[in-house]
């Protein structure tokens, strides 16, 4: 018998249980879905964060790569241009466009360039266009900016300032004292074209500077430029380009422009030679005639003590040179030799027999140096011819010749930009050269009143510096033997550049003040053939009893110092003192001939000149990393082998001498000195000048 058990399930119980089971399952699914959604959102968030982070990272990397590859660091918002060294250290900062309102931003001038990174162009509407180009030296050791401003409005003036910093600056200034390195403050406007007795700019108007940390700044001086050193703001030098009176009309509508090159490298000397070759061509420079360098030049005005000289005065100088057994390159006819300035013929009343004079001069083993200038007195024989042919610079009205007051009276000035005037003047001077066997021309036009107010030239866009350059080239084309007192941009012309010494009182002593620093700076500017040309006070006063004339002691110190210059001109004769002074003059000539001339004539010196170096050099050129040498302005080098440490004050027989690195032979003591070191209280009698020869060591 099979037993069957009946299972009874209450329907109600089944429904409730199933319902609760269903509810539980449904809640799990909802929760699961929520979890899934949350997880998905979190995943998307994390993924987005990763993508954003990666995007930011790679953007940052790209931006950093672009920024690190930038060659021009210019912030258009602040208008600050920064030049850095290869390690990223800021070397110099320039604040550009000082005349543009600070709130005005330029167009298309991104902080970071993504295109050609060697160029940047920024436009300020109604003001100016700025262009900056970056380039390297061929060996990549030196990097440069070329900065160019073009005004869009005659009223806008390009105005850039540079931080001077705590480094030393060498180069142009119109400081009589403190010019090397530059200290103090000065203000120079080339439009005023009157330098006066104002330092380096009295002799050569160049706008070039080199610093102790190997920064170089060169300004195109064909552009009218105003230099402010520590006068706009302490610790800044500023360049301003504008067309202002007295050279330009006050209503001149020409658009100002400014162009300069800013470079930096690792080595001051290397940066200097690079910039000299960048903006001139020293390889074209040739050596000056040996006799012009070797033997001294003698002034007739110095002997006569008046500019009203005669044939007899010239002959007396020639006879004195023979009498005292002195060497002679030329006797300078440096006073009035024409009856009227501009006749371009000897005055027969004062020079009755020029042929006889030349015979006497030649018999003394001298030649003649003749002073000429571009002025024509309004009563001169050539004045009417010049007026009829428009050979002269016109006045502010541009219709009649302008007049200037020079030392010989009222005169007009040759318009050197006029080709016909140029040709006529050249032929006239060549005729004088050939008729009278003139060996050297001395071209001078002074430092003030050499052009009329607001002058007008045959060529419209002439500038004061362009006129200076044209004058030098004009006279050089008539005679390659040339002495000049003033010039600009003529570094490739092999001429003697005259430098006169100033006399100052320091305490109880009288000293030669600026001859060394000025001559060294002119060498840095590219003028190697410096002629020590007497004393400024004597030349200006022409009076033996004038104050500040050199004593015998100081004159002897000047002769000793001048013996180490490339050339010497006596504006005061040694025989006007005594026989002892004459003997010192003879010894100075022997020293120059036996010690200096072999260095100047050496093949090494010619190679150095073609590199852009000078004959006389500041002490730091022996070792560009020597910070002590860069502060010294009363010692100098001849080439790279001779160190000179002159005594420049009267009644003084001791001085401190700095010897740079290396082994140097003391020529007075016949001992070796190993530098760098100081020689304190070095004794040198009145008839001695300390000098040291570098001893080369060969392995």
Whether the ω angle into residue 72 lies within 30 degrees of 0, i.e. cis, is no
Distance CA 334, CA 340 (A): 15
**Closest alpha carbon to 501 in 174, 177, 170:** 177
The CATH classification number of 293-372+418-443+460-615 equals 3.20.20.80
Angle subtended at Cα 611 by Cα 605 and Cα 612, rounded to the nearest 5 degrees: 95
Q: In this predicted model, which residue has the larger pLDDT, 493 or 14? A: 493
Say if residue 458 is exposed, middle or buried (CB neighbours under 10 Å; 0-12, 13-18, 19+).
middle
Choice among 145-149, 434-438, 505-509 with the minimum mean pLDDT: 505-509
**Tokens at 154, concatenated:** 């005659």
Closest C-alpha among 535, 628, 528 to residue 280: 528
Q: ∠ CA 570-587-620 to the nearest 5 degrees?
A: 80
- What is the side-by-side strand order in the sheet with 409-413? 375-377, 409-413, 404-406
Cα 595 to Cα 166: distance, rounded to the nearest angstrom? 38
C-alpha dihedral sign at 328, 334, 336, 342: positive
Same fold, 73-279 and 293-372+418-443+460-615: no
Which DSSP helix (H) or strand (E) runs through 119?
strand 119-124
Residue 328: closest CA among 593, 594, 600: 593
Distance between CA atoms of residues 72 and 134, nearest Å: 6
Over residues 448-475, the pLDDT tens digits come to: 778 998 899 998 888 889 999 999 999 9
Residue 20 to residue 29: CA distance in whole angstroms: 14
Q: How many residues does the chain have?
A: 699
Q: Which has the minimum average pLDDT: 49-63, 120-134, 218-232, 416-430? A: 49-63
| Position 640 confidence tier, pLDDT thresholds 50, 70, 90 | very high
Backbone angles phi, psi at 33, to 5 degrees: -60, -40
Residue 115: per-residue pLDDT: 66
Give tens-digit pLDDT for 321-357.
Answer: 999 999 999 999 999 999 999 999 999 999 999 999 9
Exposed / middle / buried, residue 578 (Cβ in 10 Å: 0-12, 13-18, 19+)? exposed
What burial class does residue 446 get, using C-beta atoms within 10 Å of its C-beta: 0-12 exposed, 13-18 middle, 19+ buried?
A: middle
pLDDT in tens, 182-203: 988 899 888 876 655 568 888 9
Q: Which helix (H) or strand (E) holds 215?
A: strand 215-219
Band of the pLDDT at 55, cuts 50, 70, 90? Answer: low
Residue 31: burial class (beta carbons within 10 Å; 0-12, 13-18, 19+): exposed
- Phi, psi for residue 330 in degrees, rounded to 5: -140, 155
How buried is residue 161: exposed, middle or buried, by Cβ count under 10 Å (0-12/13-18/19+)?
A: buried
Neighbours of 513 (CB within 10 A): 20
Distances (CA, A) of 141 to 145, 168, 260, 480: 14, 21, 20, 38
Locate all alpha helices (DSSP H) within 295-418, ordered by sequence.
300-304, 311-323, 354-363, 383-388
Name the 3-class secondary structure at 522. Answer: helix
Please report which confidence band the pLDDT of residue 107 belongs to, taking 50, 70 and 90 as the band edges.
Answer: confident
Sequence-distant (≥ 6) Cβ neighbours of residue 57 within 8 angstroms: none
Share of the chain above pLDDT 90, in %: 64
Query: Average pLDDT in the 651-675 region?
Result: 96
341 backbone dihedrals φ, ψ, rounded to 5°: -55, 120
Rounded (10°) angle between helices 268-279 and 603-611: 80
Q: Output DSSP code: residue 284.
A: G
Lowest-confidence segment of 11-15, 495-499, 515-519 by average pLDDT:
11-15
> What is the spatial distance between Cα 404 and Cα 394, in angstroms, rounded to a whole number?
11
Instruction: Give the pLDDT score at 471.
Output: 95
**What span, in angstroms and rounded, lies between the C-alpha atoms of 295 and 593?**
8
Fold of the domain built from segment(s) 621-694: Immunoglobulin-like (2.60.40)
What is the Cα–Cα distance from 412 to 401, expressed in whole angstroms?
A: 6
Instruction: Give per-residue pLDDT as tens, 1-36.
Output: 334 344 344 444 444 444 444 454 555 666 766 677
- Taking all residues of the chain, what is their mean pLDDT, rounded to a whole number? 87
3-class DSSP state of 641: coil
CATH number of 73-279: 2.70.98
- Residue 40, H or E segment: helix 11-68
Say if residue 58 is exposed, middle or buried (CB neighbours under 10 Å; 0-12, 13-18, 19+): exposed
Give the start-to-end residue ranges of the domains of the chain: 1-68, 73-279, 293-372+418-443+460-615, 621-694
Output the 3-class SS for 673-689: EEEEEEEEEEECCCCCC
Q: What is the pLDDT at residue 61?
A: 39
Q: Is the pTM of this model over 0.75?
A: yes
Give yes or no for residue 89 having a pLDDT over 80. no
Separation between Cα atoms, residue 153 and residue 242, nearest integer Å: 12
**Is pLDDT larger for residue 52 or for residue 594?**
594
């Amino acid at each position: 018998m099979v037993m069957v058990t009946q299972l009874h399930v209450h329907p109600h119980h089944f429904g409730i249980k199933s319902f609760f089971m269903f509810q539980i399952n449904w809640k799990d699914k909802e929760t699961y879905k929520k979890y899934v959604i949350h997880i998905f959102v979190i995943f998307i968030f994390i993924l987005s964060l990763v993508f954003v982070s990666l995007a930011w990272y790679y953007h940052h990397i790209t931006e950093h790569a672009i920024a690190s590859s930038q060659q021009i660091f210019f912030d258009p918002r602040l208008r600050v241009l920064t030049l850095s060294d290869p390690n990223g250290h800021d070397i110099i900062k320039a604040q550009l466009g000082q005349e543009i309102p600070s709130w005005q931003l330029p167009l298309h001038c991104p902080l970071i360039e993504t295109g050609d990174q060697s160029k940047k162009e920024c436009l300020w509407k109604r003001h100016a266009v700025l262009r900056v180009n970056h380039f390297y030296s061929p060996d990549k050791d030196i990097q440069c900016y070329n900065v160019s401003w073009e005004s869009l409005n005659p009223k806008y003036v390009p105005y850039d300032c540079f931080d001077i910093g705590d480094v030393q600056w060498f180069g142009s200034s119109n400081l009589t004292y403190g010019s090397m390195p530059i200290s103090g403050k000065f203000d120079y406007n080339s439009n005023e074209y009157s330098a006066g007795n104002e330092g380096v700019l009295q002799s050569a108007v160049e706008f070039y500077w080199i610093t102790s940390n190997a920064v170089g700044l060169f300004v195109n001086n064909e552009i009218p430029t105003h230099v402010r050193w520590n006068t706009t703001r302490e610790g800044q030098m500023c360049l301003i380009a504008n067309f202002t009176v007295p050279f330009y009309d006050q209503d001149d509508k020409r658009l100002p422009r400014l162009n300069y090159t800013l470079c930096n490298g690792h080595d001051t000397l290397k940066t200097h030679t690079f910039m000299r070759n960048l903006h001139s061509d020293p390889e074209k420079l040739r050596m000056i005639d040996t006799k012009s360098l070797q033997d001294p030049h003698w002034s007739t005005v110095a002997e006569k003590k008046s500019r009203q000289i005669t044939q007899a005065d010239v002959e007396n100088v020639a006879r004195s040179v023979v009498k005292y057994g002195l060497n002679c390159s030329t006797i300078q006819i440096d006073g009035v030799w024409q009856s009227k300035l501009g006749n371009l013929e000897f005055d027969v009343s004062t020079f009755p027999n020029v042929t006889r004079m030349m015979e006497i001069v030649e018999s003394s083993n001298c030649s003649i140096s003749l002073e000429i200038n571009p002025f024509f007195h309004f009563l001169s024989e050539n004045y009417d011819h010049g007026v009829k042919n428009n050979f002269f610079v016109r006045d502010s009205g541009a219709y009649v010749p302008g007049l200037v007051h020079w030392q010989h009276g009222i005169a007009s000035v040759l318009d050197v930009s006029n080709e016909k005037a140029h040709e006529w003047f050249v032929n006239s001077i060549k005729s004088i050269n050939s008729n009278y066997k003139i060996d050297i021309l001395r071209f001078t036009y002074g430092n003030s009143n050499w052009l009329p107010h607001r002058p007008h030239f045959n060529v419209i866009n002439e500038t004061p510096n362009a006129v200076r350059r044209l004058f030098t080239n004009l006279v050089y084309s008539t005679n390659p033997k040339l002495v000049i007192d003033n010039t600009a941009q003529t570094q490739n012309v092999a001429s003697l550049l005259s430098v006169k010494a100033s006399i100052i009182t320091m305490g109880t002593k009288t000293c030669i003040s600026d001859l060394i620093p000025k001559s060294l700076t002119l060498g840095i500017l590219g003028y190697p053939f410096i002629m020590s040309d007497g004393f400024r006070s004597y030349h200006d006063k022409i009076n033996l009893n004038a104050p500040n004339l050199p004593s015998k002691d100081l004159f002897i110190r000047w002769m000793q110092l001048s013996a180490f210059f490339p050339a010497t001109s006596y504006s005061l004769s040694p025989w006007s003192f005594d026989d002892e002074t004459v003997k010192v003059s003879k010894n100075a000539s022997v020293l120059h001939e036996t010690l200096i001339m072999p260095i100047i004539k050496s093949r090494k010196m010619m190679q150095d000149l073609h590199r852009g170096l000078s004959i006389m050099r500041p002490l730091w050129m022996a070792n560009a990393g020597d910070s002590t040498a860069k502060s010294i302005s009363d010692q100098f080098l001849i080439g790279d082998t001779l160190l000179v440490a002159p005594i420049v004050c009267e009644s003084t027989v001791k001085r401190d001498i700095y010897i740079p690195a290396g082994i140097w032979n003391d020529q007075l003591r016949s001992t070796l000195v190993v530098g760098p070191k100081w020689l304190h209280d070095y004794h040198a009698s009145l008839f001695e000048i300390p000098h040291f020869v570098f001893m080369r060591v060969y392995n």
